[in-house]
């Protein structure tokens, strides 16, 4: 099977979307031939995709990116011509917010099998103008109607999207995963530290909530430190009140080996975001035996609600959250052992090898449904509304 992966350089390829793309593609290369297409506007994300393609000898098509006011992502000026070559058995396109990129796919893919991985978030989680929000939501809905398979990273995402739009394709739950061989259990005795992992360029991560809770924890446990890891975290000093700075360790964006060690050494992880479509730090922390204090949300509860160590709290009640943290800290090695007791079940659900098999099953099923069954409408019979908006033509 020949698969074209269509990306936007606006996507953070160092976080959830990139991890999903790279890990699953690497494990499916013995079953499919992959090519990548991406615009050239964001050099950091482009470099990550380029490095992956070089490592695995995969063709990479880099197009000229152009900013357009209607969209958050950049329009790839060379993508329409590439898509009209019709050389692929399937095209996968990602991210509900990639309206300019995904609109081009819908307009130009013809009758090629389409695989859509939305990584859906409510529009309010991104800063948009009303016209941008309308365009994003319209293209996202068209993608759900047209795609032959929609791959959702949580049961909640699958249930919400399938209830909202019933199109031609099937909805599949295929989570983000973890390399359990790399993220190993940490020792029973941990350093006196709590961990925050997140992109501080994203306001929805709500680092202010973490600081409010940590202030209360510090009053009862003055030996504790807060380790902050992630994009722009090394420049977050001005966000931290002066009386807390002595207890905060700002490490910035770190290599994975250092991140793994931080999980394994910590007594807990904070993730008090306004919204999380998945929450890879939750999975990596639990794999390391580290409890997680996270906002009570439907998506993350549908993923981690049955695993020991996932401590859901009201993120807007710092007193109650701090009390929960202190109760967990008081358990010491007992809570680490409880989290690790659920590790085998966690691995059975979130190991990348298992998830790659599920994705392949979804790809193969979509291809056979399109090619071996009679299909109600050929691409050239589709209306302009079904094929895309045409707003960026």
- CA neighbor of 199 nearest in space, from 9, 6, 13: 13
Read off the pLDDT of residues 234-262 as tens digits, 9 standing for 90 and up: 667 888 999 999 999 999 888 999 999 99
Q: Where is average pLDDT lowest: 34-43, 327-336, 365-374?
A: 365-374
Share of the chain above pLDDT 90, in %: 82
> CATH assignment of 193-349, given 3.50.50.100, 3.20.20.70, 3.40.50.720, 3.40.50.2000?
3.40.50.2000
Q: Please enumerate in sequence order all residues whose Cβ is within 8 A of that of 373, keeping only pairs 6 or more positions apart, or say none.
A: none
Look at 201 and 25; give whichever has higher pLDDT. Answer: 25
CA 223 to chain centre: 34
CATH 3.40.50.2000 domain range(s) in the chain: 2-177+351-387, 193-349
Q: Please enumerate in sequence order all residues whose Cβ is within 8 A of that of 334, keeping only pairs 6 or more positions apart, or say none.
A: none
Spatial contact of 196 and 325, defined as CB atoms under 8 Å apart = no
* The pLDDT value given to residue 175: 97
**Does position 128 have pLDDT exceeding 80, yes or no?**
yes
* The pLDDT value given to residue 389: 57
The model carries a pTM of 0.90
CA 266 to chain centre: 23
Q: Quote the strand ranges of 235-357, DSSP E.
A: 248-252, 269-271, 292-295, 310-313
> What's the mean pLDDT when you consider all of the chain?
92
**Does position 381 have pLDDT exceeding 70, yes or no?**
no
Can you tell me the mean pLDDT for 292-308? 96
Q: Where is average pLDDT lowest: 156-160, 276-280, 363-367?
A: 276-280
Topology, domain 2-177+351-387: Rossmann fold (3.40.50)
Decide the pairing of beta strands 248-252 and 113-117: unpaired
Please give the Cα distance from 43 to 49 (Å, whole number). 10
Please give the Cα distance from 391 to 393 (Å, whole number). 6
């Amino acid at each position: 099977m020949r698969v074209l992966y269509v990306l936007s350089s606006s996507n953070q390829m160092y976080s959830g979307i990139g991890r999903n793309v790279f890990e699953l593609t690497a494990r499916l290369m013995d079953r499919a031939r992959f090519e990548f297409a991406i615009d050239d506007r964001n050099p950091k994300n482009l470099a990550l995709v380029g490095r992956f393609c070089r490592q695995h000898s995969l063709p990479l098509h880099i197009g000229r990116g152009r900013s357009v006011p209607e969209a958050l992502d950049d329009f790839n000026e060379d993508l329409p011509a590439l898509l009209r070559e019709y050389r692929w058995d399937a095209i996968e396109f990602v991210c509900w917010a990639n309206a300019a990129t995904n609109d081009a796919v819908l307009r130009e893919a013809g009758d090629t099998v389409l695989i859509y991985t939305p990584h859906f978030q409510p529009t309010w989680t991104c800063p948009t103008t009303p016209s941008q929000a309308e365009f994003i939501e319209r293209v996202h809905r068209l993608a759900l109607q047209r795609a032959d398979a929609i791959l959702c990273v949580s049961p909640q995402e699958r249930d919400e999207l399938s209830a909202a739009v019933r199109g031609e394709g099937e909805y599949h739950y295929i989570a983000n995963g973890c390399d359990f061989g790399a993220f190993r259990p940490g020792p029973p005795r941990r350093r006196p530290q709590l961990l925050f992992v997140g992109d501080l360029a994203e306001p929805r991560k709500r680092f202010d909530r973490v600081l409010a809770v940590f202030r209360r924890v510090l009053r009862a446990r003055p030996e504790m430190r807060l380790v902050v890891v992630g994009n722009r975290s090394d420049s977050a000093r001005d966000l931290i009140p002066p009386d807390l700075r002595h207890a905060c360790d700002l490490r910035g964006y770190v290599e994975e080996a250092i991140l793994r060690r931080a999980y394994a050494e910590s007594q807990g992880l904070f993730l008090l975001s306004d919204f999380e479509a998945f929450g890879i730090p939750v999975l990596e922390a639990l794999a390391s035996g580290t409890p997680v204090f996270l906002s009570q949300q439907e998506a993350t509860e549908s993923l981690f609600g049955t695993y020991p160590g996932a401590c859901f709290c009201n993120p807007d009640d710092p007193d109650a959250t701090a009390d929960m943290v202190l109760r967990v800290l008081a358990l010491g090695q007992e809570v680490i052992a409880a989290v690790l007791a659920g590790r085998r079940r966690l691995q059975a659900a979130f190991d990348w090898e298992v998830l790659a098999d599920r994705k392949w099953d979804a790809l193969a099923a979509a291809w056979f449904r399109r090619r071996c069954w009679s299909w109600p409408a050929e691409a050239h019979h589709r209306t302009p509304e079904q094929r895309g908006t045409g707003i960026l033509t």
